[in-house]
Structure 1
Amino acid sequence: MEQTTASPFSGYQKFVIFILAITQFTVILDFMVMSPLGDILMKSLKIQPGQFGIAVSAYAFSAGISGLLTAGFADKYDRKKLLLFFYLGFTIGTLLCGLATTYEFLVAARVFTGIFGGVIGSISMAIVADIFPIQQRGRVIGFLQMGFGASQVLGIPIGLYLADLWNWHMPFLWIVAMAVIIIALILTKMQPVTQHLAVKKDKTPLTHLFHTLINKEYRIGFAATALLSIGGFMMMPFGSAFAINNLHITNKELPIVFMVAGISTLVFMPLIGKLSDKVDKLRLFAFGCFWTMTVILFYTQLGPTPLWLVIAFNILMMMGIMGRMVPSTAIVTGVPEMQDRGAFMSINTSLQQIAGGIAAFVAGQIVVQKTQFSPLEHYDTLGYIVSAITILSIFLMYRLTLMIKRRPVQAPVAQVKTDTEISPENA
């Protein structure tokens, strides 16, 4: 795709980026914290890798099903109200996770959280597509994905510290405290996002959902995103258990690994976002994929490893993952037509979550741990599977890029207030 000079953000656009980024931070942290807590949870609840895989996939499956059920309605309402509704449900679900006392309670709480949390990302992406032109979306998505790095720099180390100081419930309760503040900000500061409602729609919600699902061009985008999700979900749930039991990283060293990798993400993410708006997104995506595959194939073969080398591998891995995540997300946001954005993003996120749930479940069946303190076996098999899937995703992203190039550039729908139009009361 041809790149043009990106225009600066208005004051309100900066606020939207901030509120969506901080929202994503809590949602990502709620999911991400399950991985570093994996070893603690498996030992505390006396469960096997397969059971932990189910606990992780429970969120993903419920999120995916919820997204599909709500996709037909995603373009029927003010996106701000949808964001508030689902974020409130996510907060309640996270509170239930913090109150869980048994494995069964935790799985049920993860299902409830997934029903609401899994839709938030698609709503956020629809808001981005409405407010920001595609020439700005690389930078916007770069900032939003900083929530991924921030969750590792601040969220996961603090969460692990709270879990070590008290118990594994505390990280979830801490997320709830932050979410309450965010709900207040969205309610009082964010403008309605309703311009998409002006587009005439003759379809019922179910018809809208069906027509979006059967669109040939959209299906390519769905498949590409699902494949990328399989790679992330397949390895991540057992990352901390692999580091502790195979690489011999201690529980006190684990937060350092996540924190340093997260800091590198915060440094590289805005740079990758800017680069994504200046160079060909497909080339950047392909480079990130091959980089990630190379690091993964080496990392999954490691045995006992010094802390500094584990940190170095995690930094390199995060660089590759972020290098493909930003351009791929920017490309996918250019796939749907204006009137289908909400439904497309909902379905896309749903299939992403369902694919991830399947990946986490399958990974739990592949990975074996003979005792609670023995090394994980067959973790390297996951690396081979992820690499093969990554190659296929490059081909699908190539087809998406060709499709988007044939279209005229789409302007953003929403006309938000400029700095001068925002009064002190609404600022």
Structure 2
Amino acid sequence: MTEPRKPAPVTPVLTKTWLSPRSWTLDTYTKLEGYTALPKALKASPEQLVQLVKDSGLRGRGGAGFPAGVKWSFMPPNEDKPHYLVINADEGEPGTCKDIPLMMADPHSLIEGCVIASYAMRAHHCFIYVRGEALHCIRRLNAAVREAYQAGYLGKNILDSGFDLDIVVHPGAGAYICGEETALLDSLEGRRGQPRLKPPFPAAAGLYAAPTTVNNVETIASVPFIVNGGSDWFREMGTEKSPGPKIYSISGHVEKPGQYEAPLGTTLRDLLELAGGMKDGIPLKFWTPGGSSTPMFTAEHLDVPLDFEGAAEAGSMLGTTAVQVFNETVSVPWAVMKWTQFYKHESCGKCTPCREGTYWLTQILERMVAGNGTEADIDTLLDVCDNVLGRSFCALGDGAVSPITSGIQYFRDEFLALCDKQKAAPALAGAQA
């Protein structure tokens, strides 16, 4: 009998300071090699830093996985207009909980990354847009920004380099749509958060119609480590096309839910072992690799590499690595209904496919879960999903249909069972338990 495979030991990178006493303070951060990357970066040219991030293979950690260095290179080299760096910390995807813990435990890694990235893109103003409900996080970030100003890491002539940078922490108002980068920019400008038509892209006309780069918290927090360790060191972790470490948020029916740092390409089997296994020993039924907007997986996908390519090849997306784990007690149609209600509530209403589609999908799913569905409802669901997918203004519409189409793909029998009132009652009771 073969021994069960154990996950390889991981040397923390992004989370290495999290368990230190008062890890969020400047004093602790500097004792643990904090702000040692900044002077190195300021001695290099902006072009060299952009090339370093390109060579590292760092990809956006906010869900899309676009190469960060390539995104930085889109910023124009001239400074006819102000350049802006905007940090997307509006973490609102159901199941995602990596950026807020990072900012709570180690805000200075984000601030140091902001200074380096701003210097590389010739930006002198940086905005950190934080989800409005995260009050403790906003206070802690503001305190860290004040510390950085007092220590000379922000403000005028940073470390006698001649480079100036101001950082503003901006609380949002709790709208999920503002996680979309152009809706976030509209919100920052004081308007209602709604996605913009692209092109123009933010690099050409973003915040205040000036060149802008929008990056995720985890992406920017990785930058100081790349500057210190080098691109080759960064590529030693993860996979060839998806290098580096990643913070995986694990929630749901596991013994120890939380944040786990692991190299990209780690499997759910490994993550479950880190999280203490399935809660109460009840077997796994389905799970999401990147939050509720990514197509769900089943127990058959335990060994799918959780990197950008592996998740896509298996029929889903890596997303924000928000791993939601559900055991056999959960009704799939019920879970799908709850997610769809969220997307209907959070739709900004700007485009018809998403506004009307999420409304009708919610109506049908609520009727089915109540035991009043028909077999024709399944075809109607798929038809509405087909009319939303790829036709909405932003990715919210695509995310709303993913749980429905994947749920029907893997668990069609459960949806069919809801079409028979006698069979529907046990399924609904299990969901409510």
Q: TM-score range by the shorter chain?
A: under 0.3
TM-score (norm: length of structure 2): 0.24
Greater share of residues in strand? 2
TM, length-normalised to structure 1: 0.25
Larger radius of gyration: 2
Q: Of Structure 1 and Structure 2, which has the larger fraction of its residues in helix?
A: 1
Higher normalized contact order (CA 8 Å, seq sep 6+, divided by chain length): 1
